[in-house]
Amino acid sequence: MASDEKEHGMDRDIRRIVPEDLADVIVNENAAHITPWSEKLIVESIQASINNKQQAWLLSYCNKPVGHMVVLPIEDQWELLNIVVHPDFQGKGLGGYCLNHLFQQARNQSVHSIYLEVRQSNSLAINLYSRFGFIGIGVRKNYYRKTQGWEDARVMQAFVNSI
Ligand SMILES: CC(C)(COP(=O)(O)OP(=O)(O)OC[C@H]1O[C@@H](n2cnc3c(N)ncnc32)[C@H](O)[C@@H]1OP(=O)(O)O)[C@@H](O)C(=O)NCCC(=O)NCCS
């Protein structure tokens, strides 16, 4: 297991999202992302998680909801669709805590590999993913909207048993 936690203790928690989490998810989503998911997409994702078509988790820090993570499981290939830590709580190891949880879940469910797409400019996220064994396997041209124009996505893959 990757050692990613900068702080240890009982100050952080992650659990499956329930419909009552909607307002908190919207706040954290809008605070963290340049182009956040719409409320409609978030509602659909929570419903999909309840139906086990996706897996969505709520991250808390000192009992406060501060982020979330959403995965699309397709047999033994998972796709990380979203991971968010509210900007006020970034840099505390919480993103790494989420990814540790993701890999634990994936291992428990005999997942082979996890894929994700990330903005080419999001070096902070790319560094974090690299620490968890993700490597770049391709580029999607002009995939993400920017304030002005578009930017490429880097497609990354990690083998679950490699960390
Ligand atoms: C990507 C994201 C989830 C990472 O969450 P996080 O809680 O900051 O992650 P961590 O603290 O575990 O680690 C992030 C790394 O960046 C550093 N970092 C993060 N925020 C920082 C800040 N505000 N100041 C200084 N360093 C910071 C951490 O020290 C750490 O570096 P390291 O890997 O060299 O130790 C978070 O930045 C985020 O929500 N970003 C916006 C949404 C997004 O881009 N999601 C990814 C889409 S693919």
Residue-wise DSSP of 26-51: HHHHHHH-SSPPPHHHHHHHHHHHHT
| Predicted local confidence at residue 161, as pLDDT | 85
| Predicted local confidence at residue 68, as pLDDT | 98
Residue ranges in the chain modelled with pLDDT below 50: 1-8
| Predicted local confidence at residue 162, as pLDDT | 59
Count the neighbouring beta carbons within 10 Å of the beta carbon of residue 17. 24
Cα dihedral sign, 14-160-124-121 = negative
Within the chain, residue ranges assigned H as helices are 22-32, 39-50, 94-108, 123-131
Please give the DSSP secondary-structure letter assigned to residue 77: E
| Predicted local confidence at residue 127, as pLDDT | 97
Best residue among 7, 83, 101, 124 to mutate for probing ligand 1, ranked by most atoms within 8 Å of CB: 124
* Average pLDDT, rounded, for the chain: 93
Residue 160 · residue 102 · CB < 8 Å:
no
CA dihedral of 58, 59, 61, 67, whole degrees rounded to 10: -100
Beta-carbon contacts of 73 under 8 Å, excluding residues fewer than 6 positions away, are 54, 55, 109, 111
- Provide the residue ranges of all domains of the chain, joining segments of one domain with +: 12-162
Q: For residue 44, report the distance from its CA to the centre of ligand 1, in Å.
A: 26
State both tokens at 20. 């009552």
Q: Whose C-alpha lies nearest to ligand 1, atom 2?
A: 95
3 ligand 1 Cβ < 6 A? no
Measure the N-to-C terminal CA separation of the chain; round to a whole number of Å: 6
> Is 129 one of the annotated active-site residues of the chain?
yes
83 ligand 1 Cβ < 6 A? yes
65 ligand 1 Cβ < 6 A? no
> Is 117 one of the annotated active-site residues of the chain?
yes
The CATH number of the structural domain formed by 12-162 is: 3.40.630.30
Q: For residue 67, report the distance from its CA to the centre of ligand 1, in Å.
A: 12
